[in-house]
Amino acid sequence: MKVLKKNKDFLNKINLLDMSREKMEFFFNSIGESKFRAIQVMEWIYHHYCDQFELMSNLSVKLRKKLSKIAIIYSPKIFYKKISNDGTIKFVLRMEDNNTVETVYIPEKKRATLCISTQIGCNVGCKFCATAQQGFNRNLKVSEIIGQIWIINRIIHFMKIKKIRYVTNIVFMGMGEPLLNIKNVVESIKIMIDDFGFNFSKKKITLSTSGIVPIIEKLYEMIDIPLALSLHASNDLLRNKIMPINKIYNIQNILNSVNVFLKKSHINKKITIEYVMLKDINDTSENAKELANCLKRVPSKINLIPWNFFPGSMYKSSSKENIINFSNILKKYGFITLIRKNRGNDINAACGQLVWNIKKIF
């Protein structure tokens, strides 16, 4: 792997991709400039995908030179990409410290979803997830979260790739537990929904969590976007075995916190429950009935996810017949239930297959 070399000048510069509009306004005030400069620069960065101050023609030459000396616009770099038979594209993105994360672009007829990562690795420890088996390295910075969208949209913008649309939807379902990096995640979402950032609707962004109770209860105070809960079990005994985080925050505590969030939210009427289907582990008819009972007081819709293989795992995916039976039972209890169509599993880009240690894949 080619190592990225950084000079002292680079290390001392401020990365503007780390800043929401509010922080960028403060930055410009701190260097003796009017705060409206933040809007001008954000438009160049997020609407024109410009990373060179000298090209920002509506800024004075003096300001452009000043910014070049103290600031930088630096995103993760594409180290590797692979295209699935279904059109899904997996990107391995390299950070400035040479760590990597995986990001997945999922094209559909009327939209394009980007599954982004929030941490290098993950310390939640779900037994059925490839990311967790590699351990945890560190949280991603704001620029490394927002930069996943920026670098991919930038390619589409400048290459004018036919039949490839800009990212329209964001799911925080890549590597890591978003709520354990909540400060940087919220700051990145502020940029995503800003008119002068990516201008996404809040409804087009989904935050997935394994259930960090204290953060879920306060999440509305930070940001109000759709929430998905990775539940994956119908009782605590089972969830303790496959998701060790349950020993800290059990199912009832998590669901109570979800109801608190839903009552405060202006845009969320239901939560999405994610349930990975593991053969002979959590896929019986009794599990389905137990899950329905668990969720009877939680406004929710349920996504059933066929488990995706990764090397060294002891698990197998439930049969198609078992998944359909499980779904039908939940529907009888009145739940909107979908069986997720896995995308990109032929290139290890599907749910639960993402890794960060590229030494293990090359």
Residue holding tokens 């202006």? Answer: 266
CA angle 320, 175, 314 (to 5 degrees): 45
| Nearest residue to 305 (alpha-carbon basis) of 333, 326, 332 | 326
Is 243 within 8 Å of 126 (Cβ atoms)? yes
Is 144 within 8 Å of 95 (Cβ atoms)? yes
Question: Which of the following is catalytic: 122, 126, 129, 351?
Answer: 351
Q: Where are the beta strands (DSSP E) in 183-335?
A: 205-209, 227-230, 271-277, 300-306
Is 102 within 8 Å of 159 (Cβ atoms)? no
Residue 228 phi/psi, 5° resolution? Answer: -125, 140
Residue holding tokens 């639960």? Answer: 352
Token representation of residue 349: 């880009």
- At 241 the three-state DSSP class reads helix
Question: Which of the following is catalytic: 33, 102, 144, 177?
Answer: 102
- Helix (H) and strand (E) counts in the chain: 12, 14
102 part of the active site: yes
Give dist(CA 72, CA 89) in Å, integer.
28
Give dist(CA 104, CA 354) in Å, integer.
9
Give dist(CA 117, CA 64) in Å, integer.
32
Which helix H or strand E contains 214, and what residues bound it?
helix 213-222
Residue holding tokens 């400039």? Answer: 33
- What is the identity of the amino acid at 106? I
Residue 116 to residues 150, 175, 201, 221: CA-CA distances in angstroms? 11, 7, 17, 23
Is 78 within 8 Å of 147 (Cβ atoms)? no
Give dist(CA 242, CA 119) in Å, integer.
20
Annotated catalytic sites, by residue? 102, 351
